[in-house]
């Protein structure tokens, strides 16, 4: 996907819509990188709600820093500035990157597929790299390679905190190895960045969580709230054998809805900027005026659902010298055209998380044009204004994809011989299901679209085991809708974020750490928006464990400078970002430990 920031807006409305779609594009596929320097990040000021609205429709929590454990926190801030600690952090992640823990889509069960054995050396490495964690916390191995660490508290009345990450990485394409600045499993440190597969997804999260706990043990911290760490090993290939097994273990050990807060990988802080001569229109960030910028953090409170629908068309075979009017492939092509010509209808409602993202942007960000900003703020109480906002934002294709259910024809098969009529042809249709829809609604929409074509071409139609057409009538062939790979996943439950104690602790920690790391303590220089992912994380297996599930990595992606991203060549991370992530996890553990309303 092209970087949205490279696109020159053709008009002010187009530019506004692009700015509104950027945050969710950024956090969901993690490709958003900026050319802004760290010094520019320091000087950002925010729009104040009173400029546009008498009351704040997107109230921001107060930055939260450890109080009871202030001495432990202050000690970390000092220690993290030393060269010795930075060297240790580099060593931790570099060593983890050098062990290639790749997971593939076609891997067999643990114990049968030898490729899983790559995680043995990784476990050994973690044990040696973080000795205090492994001598203090209990460690359980689930389905051989899943890891669960438990730091038991002295207070059983407080629900535990669960931090998660995954050990696996996507494989490196052998054809691209020579395009890497540094070899993908070298863990090379160039004095500023660590390079290699997993530096940004997700060994950075796993290593900084363990580093945070290693520090807390060394500082003499004794948790009042039990801390649990869970690390899956096949997140990049659906997570069934990793997090799927871990969820069962955690349910059996702790019980349903037993965790106060779950934090997994997800959205990151990002800087959005406006040009000096036009603060109401988004454009490329070159030469922006710092006072018109805004820094946002985008923890995800939900995820889209998912299903791969296989559409199979069957018709009589025979010699191609005597062809029918339509072969199976021709019939299938007609159906593909119908599906692409009729996307799932999209509407914007106040119940959709993206609506609240819009409200927050209109309230706190300078990237929204005057007309659109006013329409969004009016829509808080006006249904008519809501329709205006819907018409404005949904004209942008990327925003429509963010809000609604998407459909993509991704795989096609049919025919075996040039002179033989194909008896069968099929496609796989990938769906990402809106948070206000469902798997059944998605299936029904596809089935309803195809039913008139089934009648027109005299084909029977069976949708996921349900016979749609009259089975007593003779038919020329058949249409079958199925999910042979068992991919059904409902949209995730929306975690609370309005007046939620758990979201308040998370957002307050994000704000405090962001400001403290940049020497801005005492100021509030970052806003936190609720958002959602149109990809899926291991949290798909953890819904029964807590109502408070948030997906967030405190990794400053604006410091990647376009040199490499997730799942592609030249993946890298700055050591400064790692240090900030460690601070974030330490602060989150301490702040959660001190919270009395979770």
Q: How many CA atoms lie within 13 A of 481 on its CB side?
A: 27
Identified catalytic residue from 201, 234, 235, 555: 235
DSSP-derived letter for residue 230 is: E
Clarify whether 235 is annotated catalytic: yes
Residues 212 and 145: beta-carbon distance below 8 Å: no
User: Does the active-site annotation cover 593?
Assistant: no
Burial readout 205-214 (b: 16 or more C-beta within 10 A, e: otherwise): bbbbbbbbbb
3-state secondary structure of 575: helix
Q: How far is CA 26 from CA 5, 199, 440, 526, 598, in A?
A: 11, 18, 29, 17, 30
Q: How far apart are CA 76 and CA 373, in angstroms?
A: 41
407, two tokens: 């459909």
CA distance 2 to 406: 18
481 backbone dihedrals φ, ψ, rounded to 5°:
-105, 130
The H-or-E segment that residue 508 falls in is: helix 501-517
d(CA 572, CA 576): 12
Query: 214 has which bridge partners?
Result: none
Task: For residue 481, give the nearest of 467, 469, 464 by alpha carbon.
Answer: 464
Q: To which residue do tokens 């960030």 refer?
A: 285
* β-pairing verdict for 406-414 and 424-433: antiparallel
Q: What's the burial of 333, exposed, middle or buried (CB within 10 Å: 0-12/13-18/19+)? A: middle
- Where do we find the tokens 């439950």? 493
Is residue 295 a contact partner of residue 527, using CB atoms and an 8 Å limit? yes
Contact 296, 526 (CB under 8 A): yes
CB-hemisphere CA count at 13 Å for 557? 28
**Pairwise CA distance, residues 291 & 131, whole Å:** 46
Residue with tokens 């030469």: 287
Catalytic annotation, pick one of 16, 168, 308, 490: 168
DSSP 344: P
Joined tokens for residue 321: 């010298």
Q: Which contacts of 285-290 are long-range, i.e. CB under 8 A and separated by 24 or more positions? A: 285/5, 285/34, 285/35, 285/36, 286/35, 288/36, 290/40, 290/43, 290/44, 290/45
Active site residues: 168, 235
């Amino acid at each position: 996907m092209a970087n949205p920031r490279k696109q020159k807006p053709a008009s002010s409305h187009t530019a506004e819509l692009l700015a509104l779609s950027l945050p969710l594009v950024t956090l969901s596929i993690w490709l958003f990188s900026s050319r802004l320097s760290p010094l520019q990040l320091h000087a950002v000021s925010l729009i104040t709600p009173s400029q546009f609205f008498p009351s704040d429709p997107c109230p921001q929590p107060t930055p939260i820093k450890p109080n009871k454990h202030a001495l432990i926190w202050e000690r970390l801030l000092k220690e993290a500035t030393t060269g010795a600690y930075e060297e240790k952090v580099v060593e931790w992640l570099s060593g983890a990157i050098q062990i290639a823990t790749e997971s593939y889509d076609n891997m067999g069960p643990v114990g049968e597929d030898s490729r899983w054995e790559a995680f043995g050396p990784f476990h050994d490495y973690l044990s040696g790299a973080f000795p205090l964690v492994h001598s203090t916390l209990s460690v359980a191995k689930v389905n051989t390679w899943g890891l669960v660490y438990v730091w038991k508290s002295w207070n059983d009345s407080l629900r535990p905190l669960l931090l998660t990450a995954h050990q696996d990485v996507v494989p490196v394409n052998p054809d691209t190895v020579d395009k890497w600045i540094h070899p993908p499993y070298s863990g090379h440190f160039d004095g500023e960045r660590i390079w290699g597969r997993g530096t940004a997804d997700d060994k950075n999260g796993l290593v900084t969580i363990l580093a945070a706990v290693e520090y807390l043990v060394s500082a003499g911290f004794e948790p009042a709230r039990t801390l649990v760490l869970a690390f899956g090993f096949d997140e990049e290939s659906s997570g069934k054998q990793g997090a799927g097994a871990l969820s069962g273990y955690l349910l059996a050990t702790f019980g349903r809805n037993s965790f106060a807060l779950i934090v997994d990988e997800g959205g990151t802080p990002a800087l959005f900027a406006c040009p000096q001569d036009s603060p109401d229109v988004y454009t490329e960030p070159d030469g922006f005026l710092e006072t018109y910028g805004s820094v946002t953090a985008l923890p995800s409170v939900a995820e889209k659902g998912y299903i791969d629908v296989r559409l199979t068309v069957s018709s009589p075979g025979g010699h191609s010298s005597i062809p029918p009017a339509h072969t199976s492939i021709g019939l299938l092509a007609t159906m593909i055209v119908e599906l692409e010509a009729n996307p799932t209808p999209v509407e914007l409602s106040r119940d959709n998380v993206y609506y609240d993202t819009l409200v927050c942007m209109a309230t706190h960000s300078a990237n929204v044009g005057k007309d659109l900003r006013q329409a969004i703020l009016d829509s808080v109480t006006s249904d008519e204004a809501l329709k205006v906002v819907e018409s404005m934002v949904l004209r942008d294709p990327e925003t429509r994809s963010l809000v609604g259910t998407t459909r993509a024809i991704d795989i096609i098969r049919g025919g075996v011989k040039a002179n033989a009529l194909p008896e069968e042809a099929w496609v796989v249709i990938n769906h990402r299901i809106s948070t206000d829809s469902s798997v059944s609604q998605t299936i029904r929409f596809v089935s309803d679209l195809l039913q008139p074509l089934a009648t027109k071409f005299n084909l029977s139609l069976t949708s996921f085991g349900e016979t749609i057409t009259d089975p007593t009538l003779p038919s020329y062939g058949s249409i079958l809708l199925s999910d042979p790979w068992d991919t059904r996943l409902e949209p995730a439950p929306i975690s609370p974020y309005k007046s939620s104690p758990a979201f308040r602790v998370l957002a307050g920690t994000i704000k405090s750490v962001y400001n403290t790391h940049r020497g801005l303590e005492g100021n509030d220089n970052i806003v936190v928006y609720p958002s959602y992912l149109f990809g899926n994380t291991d949290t798909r297996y953890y819904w029964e464990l807590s109502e408070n599930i948030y997906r967030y990595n405190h990794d400053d992606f604006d410091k990647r400078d376009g040199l490499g991203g997730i799942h592609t060549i030249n993946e890298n991370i700055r050591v400064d970002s790692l240090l900030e992530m460690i601070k974030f996890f330490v602060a989150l553990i301490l702040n959660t430990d001190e919270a009395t309303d979770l």
